[in-house]
């Protein structure tokens, strides 16, 4: 019995080891790419699966020499799965990347694409605009933008009409936004805004104030007055002005409640989030509209997106790039909007009627909000230590978001920690 | 450890032989040996390939800095010294894990014994109660955790209940102080698994012992302490060891319950050893450091298991053992 218990204890603690062993055994197995099929991994749910598959089908139909095996991995397991695949020497040929892209590129796991871009004659600037070089690291391009949309303001028209408040516009300042939130709040029942506790939200305010999270030379600057002011404002909206539900109030509404579901339930009048909220709202009873983000000292808003990259394990990187080139070209990108999945990164599609007046959109939905926002998207610092940076914010700001507090003190502490994390 | 094995209570002792002697196997013996290896081999292969191999590999990895992509860099004991001397989150998660294990395990046992004792009474609907108490164990953990998110909401049912007694319930999962007690509440909810084992042990106690005790004038309380309790100590001991090992490895509950998918919970208040290990390995790409944490956790569990076995002699009663 003793022995069994000892080994049981060992079994659990060797968790990491088991996975690495699985990786080692995978080394021995032959590569699946023998028949020239490209493996492509993406994350997401049902809509994503359908959309990617339709795009891949189109690609295969138009390019008979390319075969793609599409693998969809649930979002919360994506990084671990891909990491295990790559560590085992059996990485995918094409992978979807986002904010965390440089954990891979800094470790030489992605193929620099510049020479392929050049020889194919693809003009990134022309096809994608300012986001064309979003996924570059140390002057080399590691991924081609695929989906890219700014964060936008969703507003509940009925609640705005009832309170007699004008609908939001890009011309609003932070003060205008707060004034509107205050008029839209009915204590304990309805709130003006869904909150800004997520990096994409409060960082937007920081960049609106002229601050930066990481400066141009790569040093963290999170305790600058501009950033402190932004974080304090974002927090005060909840704990001082009471125009945003507190964490406790959200928890009382149901499990995993936050701005997105609360907006769809008509509990908050405004919410700032990405394109994905549209899918749920089409089916909800809420009478909603969208507008570009308000501004501060200057206009700034974060964007969400993802790109497609070729990994080191790709046997035929040239063909993999060819596939990516096709997938990010107009015909394949149109499927993204037809399925209401996301904002296609391709500018030509973003400006087309397919995007501006999609079939599924309610009457008069201002899809131009995305195009308008793209002019003032700020460049978030996609550092290789992205995950650690986010964890540092989450760990330190947990109590701050839940109970309120002093942004300066929190950010001073975070600054110190980030200085040791960011090399 | 060998002396512990020898002195494991209840273990039948073989007479010690002076020196080892090779005995020639008979034909039947060889055949038996062949079948022994044949039938044990699936386990053995699995053990060597999936357990021993990875364990040895993880010792090596723990002495390197490895991001899982590029070749590992040998750093000696740096990972261990960093965990023990520099990383405040490591110590915090160690403390959190102790806090959780040392409260949830005894509490779970007390509740388990109490429930088993109640269910052992001859009351109407006893079978129904037994089923109901075991039921929580059968609900998948994810479903349980989702329900607990609602139950533990600041104005949720639990706080409503506390309100009836004039208590102002805390914000449980949102508060750095209360998230660990919340996890303990969740673990105690699953005490039914221990209850079933304890109940079967109680059923096995001979009636004569109670009759004799009654004749000697022992009341219910005295009967419990002098008859029931000593008889079920082996099962309590089993649950204690399993509970300790399980509690030190707590992972899924934290992963699901921590608000906003932040594994550490508010200000790392619910960061446990295994969640920290997972975060370091799969989110931060520090496989070497994560492996070092795994081995430190192994040592912690080993120490507690040894302590439990050492003290077991004093309170675990085996009928077959002559004292």
Give residue-wise pLDDT tens across range B137-155: 888 888 888 888 888 888 8
Rounded to two decimals, the ipTM of the complex is 0.76
Asked if residue A182 and residue A110 are part of one domain, the reply reads no
pLDDT in the model for residue A19: 41
Asked if residue B221 and residue B137 are part of one domain, the reply reads yes
Q: What is the DSSP string of A259-299?
A: HHHHHHTTSBSEEEE-TTHHHHHHHSS--EEEEEPPBSSS-
Chain A residues in contact with B282 by the CB 8 A cut-off are 79-80, 83
Residue contact B49–A247, C-beta within 8 A = no
For residue B94, the distance in angstroms to the closest alpha carbon of chain A comes to 14
Q: Give the model's confidence band at B12: pLDDT under 50 very low, under 70 low, under 90 confident, else very high.
A: very low
Q: Which residues of A346-384 are buried (b: 16+ CB within 10 A; e: fewer)?
A: bbebbebebbbeeeebeeebbbebbbbbbebbbebbbbb
Residue contact A14–B264, C-beta within 8 A = no
Average confidence (pLDDT) over B278-295: 92
Torsion of CA A354, A360, A366, A371, to 10 degrees: -40
Chain B residues in contact with A2 by the CB 8 A cut-off are 1, 4-5, 8, 309
Chain B residues in contact with A248 by the CB 8 A cut-off are 153-155, 171, 174
* Mutant choice from B266, B303, B312 vs A, greatest count of A C-beta within 10 A: B266
Is B17 inside a domain boundary? no
**CB count, 10 Å around CB of A180?**
24
Cα-Cα end-to-end distance for chain B? 22
Is B74 inside a domain boundary? no
Domain count, chain A: 2
Is B18 inside a domain boundary? no
In the listed set A321, A336, A365, which residue is the last one of a domain according to the structure?
Answer: A365
To the nearest whole percent, how much of chain B has pLDDT over 90?
46
- CATH number of the domain to which A162 belongs: 3.40.190.10
For residue B12, the distance in angstroms to the closest alpha carbon of chain A comes to 13
To the nearest whole percent, how much of chain B has pLDDT over 70?
91
Chain B residues in contact with A7 by the CB 8 A cut-off are 51
pLDDT at B10 over 80: no
Q: Which domain holds residue A256?
A: 150-303+378-421
Helix (H) or strand (E) holding B195: helix B192-203
Burial class (CB in 10 A: 0-12, 13-18, 19+), B23: exposed
Asked if residue A291 and residue A180 are part of one domain, the reply reads yes
pLDDT in the model for residue B21: 57
pLDDT in the model for residue A1: 36
Q: Give the model's confidence band at B5: pLDDT under 50 very low, under 70 low, under 90 confident, else very high.
A: very low
pLDDT in the model for residue B250: 92
Whole-model pTM?
Answer: 0.81
Residue contact A247–B268, C-beta within 8 A = no
- Across chain B, mean pLDDT equals 86
Distance CA B276, CA A12 (A): 14
Predicted confidence (pLDDT) per residue in B201-214, tens digit: 998 899 899 999 99
Asked if residue A356 and residue A233 are part of one domain, the reply reads no
Q: Which domain holds residue B116?
A: 80-315
Tokens of A93: 């040929």
Residue contact A247–B259, C-beta within 8 A = yes
B123 in A contact zone (CB under 8 Å) = no
- Restricting to B residues 74-113, those with a Cβ less than 8 Å away from any Cβ of A are 89
For residue B93, the distance in angstroms to the closest alpha carbon of chain A comes to 13
Asked if residue B39 and residue B109 are part of one domain, the reply reads no
Asked if residue B279 and residue B163 are part of one domain, the reply reads yes
pLDDT in the model for residue B23: 66
Is B259 inside a domain boundary? yes
Chain A residues in contact with B173 by the CB 8 A cut-off are 251
Crossing angle, helix B229-248 and helix B287-315, to 10 degrees? 170
Predicted confidence (pLDDT) per residue in B79-110, tens digit: 999 999 988 889 999 999 999 999 999 999 99
Asked if residue B150 and residue B37 are part of one domain, the reply reads no
Sequence-distant (≥ 6) Cβ neighbours of residue A404 within 8 angstroms: A235, A236, A238, A239, A240
Asked if residue B45 and residue B149 are part of one domain, the reply reads no
* Mutant choice from A25, A74, A87, A251 vs B, greatest count of B C-beta within 10 A: A251
Asked if residue A88 and residue A57 are part of one domain, the reply reads yes
pLDDT in the model for residue B8: 46
Q: What's the average pLDDT block by block, 10 residues per block, for chain A (423 residues)?
A: 38 40 40 72 93 96 93 90 87 94 91 94 90 90 93 96 94 95 93 94 96 93 96 96 92 85 94 92 91 93 93 92 95 94 92 91 90 89 92 89 92 94 84
Distance CA B174, CA B259 (A): 7
For residue A85, the distance in angstroms to the closest alpha carbon of chain B comes to 10
- Out of A145-159, B152-166, B172-186, the most confident range is A145-159
Asked if residue B140 and residue B221 are part of one domain, the reply reads yes
Burial class (CB in 10 A: 0-12, 13-18, 19+), A331: middle
Q: Give the model's confidence band at B189: pLDDT under 50 very low, under 70 low, under 90 confident, else very high.
A: confident
- CATH number of the domain to which B142 belongs: 1.10.3720.10
Asked if residue A109 and residue A214 are part of one domain, the reply reads no
Domain count, chain B: 2
Closest among A188, A253, A280, A197 to B149, alpha carbons compared: A253
Residue contact B8–A1, C-beta within 8 A = yes
Residue contact B268–A395, C-beta within 8 A = yes
Asked if residue A93 and residue A117 are part of one domain, the reply reads yes
pLDDT at B228 over 70: yes
Is B321 inside a domain boundary? no
Cα-Cα end-to-end distance for chain A? 49
For residue B30, the distance in angstroms to the closest alpha carbon of chain A comes to 27
Asked if residue A187 and residue A112 are part of one domain, the reply reads no
* Mutant choice from B72, B79, B142, B267 vs A, greatest count of A C-beta within 10 A: B267
pLDDT in the model for residue A158: 95
Residue contact B70–A104, C-beta within 8 A = no
For B298, which of A13, A18, A87 is closest by C-beta distance? A13
Chain B residues in contact with A416 by the CB 8 A cut-off are none
């Amino acid at each position: 019995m003793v022995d069994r218990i000892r080994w049981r204890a060992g079994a659990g603690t060797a968790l990491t080891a088991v996975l690495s062993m699985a990786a080692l055994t995978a080394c021995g197995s032959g590569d699946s790419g023998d028949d020239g099929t490209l493996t492509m991994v993406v994350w997401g749910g049902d809509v994503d699966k359908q959309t990617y598959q339709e795009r891949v089908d189109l690609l295969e139909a138009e390019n008979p020499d390319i075969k793609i095996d599409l693998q969809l991995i649930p979002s919360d397991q994506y990084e671990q799965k891909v990491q295990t695949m790559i560590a085992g020497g059996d990485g995918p040929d094409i992978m979807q990347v986002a904010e965390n892209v440089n954990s891979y590129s800094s470790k030489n796991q992605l193929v620099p694409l510049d020479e392929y871009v050049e020889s194919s004659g693809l003009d990134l600037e022309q096809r994608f605009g300012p986001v064309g070089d979003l996924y570059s690291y140390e002057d080399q391009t590691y991924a081609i933008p695929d989906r890219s949309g700014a964060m936008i303001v969703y507003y509940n028209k009925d609640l705005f009409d009832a309170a007699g408040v004008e609908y939001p516009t890009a011309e609003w300042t932070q003060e205008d936004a707060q004034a509107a939130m205050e008029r839209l709040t009915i204590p304990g029942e309805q709130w003006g805004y869904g909150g800004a506790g997520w990096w994409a939200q409060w960082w937007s305010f920081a960049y609106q104030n002229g601050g930066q999270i990481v400066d141009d030379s790569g040093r963290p600057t999170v305790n600058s007055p501009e950033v402190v002011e932004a974080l304090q404002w974002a927090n005060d909206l909840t704990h001082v002005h009471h125009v945003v539900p507190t964490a406790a109030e959200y928890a009382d509404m149901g499990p995993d409640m936050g701005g997105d579901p609360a907006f769809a339930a008509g509990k908050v009048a405004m919410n700032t989030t990405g394109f994905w909220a549209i899918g749920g709202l089409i089916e909800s009873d809420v009478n909603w509209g969208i507008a570009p983000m308000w501004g501060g000292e200057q206009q700034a808003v974060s964007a969400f997106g993802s790109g497609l990259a070729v990994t080191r394990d790709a046997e035929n990187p040239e063909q993999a790039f060819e596939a990516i080139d096709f997938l990010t070209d107009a015909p394949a990108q149109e499927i993204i909007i037809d399925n209401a999945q996301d904002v296609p990164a391709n500018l030509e599609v973003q400006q087309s009627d397919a995007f501006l007046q999609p079939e599924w959109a309610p009457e008069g939905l201002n899809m131009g909000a995305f195009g308008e926002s793209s002019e003032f998207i700020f460049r978030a610092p996609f550092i290789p230590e992205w995950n650690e940076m986010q964890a540092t914010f989450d760990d330190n700001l947990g109590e701050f978001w839940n109970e309120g507090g002093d942004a300066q003190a929190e950010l001073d502490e975070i600054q110190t920690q980030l200085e040791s994390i960011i090399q | 450890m060998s002396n512990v094995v020898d002195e494991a209570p209840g273990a039948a002792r073989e007479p010690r032989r002076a020196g080892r002697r090779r005995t020639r196997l008979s034909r039947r013996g060889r055949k038996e040996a062949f079948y022994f290896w044949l039938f044990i081999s699936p386990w053995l292969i699995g053990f060597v390939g999936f357990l021993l191999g990875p364990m040895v590999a993880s010792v090596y990895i723990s002495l390197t800095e490895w991001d899982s992509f590029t070749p590992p860099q040998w750093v000696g004991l740096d990972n261990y010294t960093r965990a023990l001397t520099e990383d405040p989150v490591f110590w915090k998660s160690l403390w959190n894990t102790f806090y959780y294990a040392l409260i949830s395990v005894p509490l779970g046992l007390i509740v388990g014994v109490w429930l088993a004792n109640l269910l052992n009474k001859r009351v109407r609907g006893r079978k129904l109660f037994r089923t109901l108490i075991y039921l929580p164990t059968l609900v998948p953990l994810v479903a349980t955790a989702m329900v607990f998110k609602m139950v533990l909401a600041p104005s949720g049912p639990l706080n409503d209940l506390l309100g009836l007694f004039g208590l102002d319930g805390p914000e449980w999962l949102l508060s750095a102080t209360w998230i660990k007690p919340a996890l303990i509440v969740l673990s105690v909810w699953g005490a039914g698994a221990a209850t079933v084992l304890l109940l079967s042990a109680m059923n096995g106690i001979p009636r004569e012992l109670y009759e004799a005790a009654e004749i000697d004038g022992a009341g219910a309380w005295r009967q419990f302490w002098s008859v029931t309790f000593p008889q079920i100590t082996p099962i309590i001991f089993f649950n204690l060891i399993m509970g300790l090992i399980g509690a030190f490895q707590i992972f899924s509950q934290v992963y699901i319950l921590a608000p906003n998918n932040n594994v550490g919970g508010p200000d790392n208040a619910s960061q446990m050893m295994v969640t920290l290990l997972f975060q370091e390995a799969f989110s931060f790409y520090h496989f070497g450091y994560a492996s070092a944490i795994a081995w430190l956790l192994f040592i912690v569990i080993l120490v507690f298991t040894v302590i439990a076995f050492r003290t077991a002699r004093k309170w675990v009663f085996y009928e077959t053992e002559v004292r």
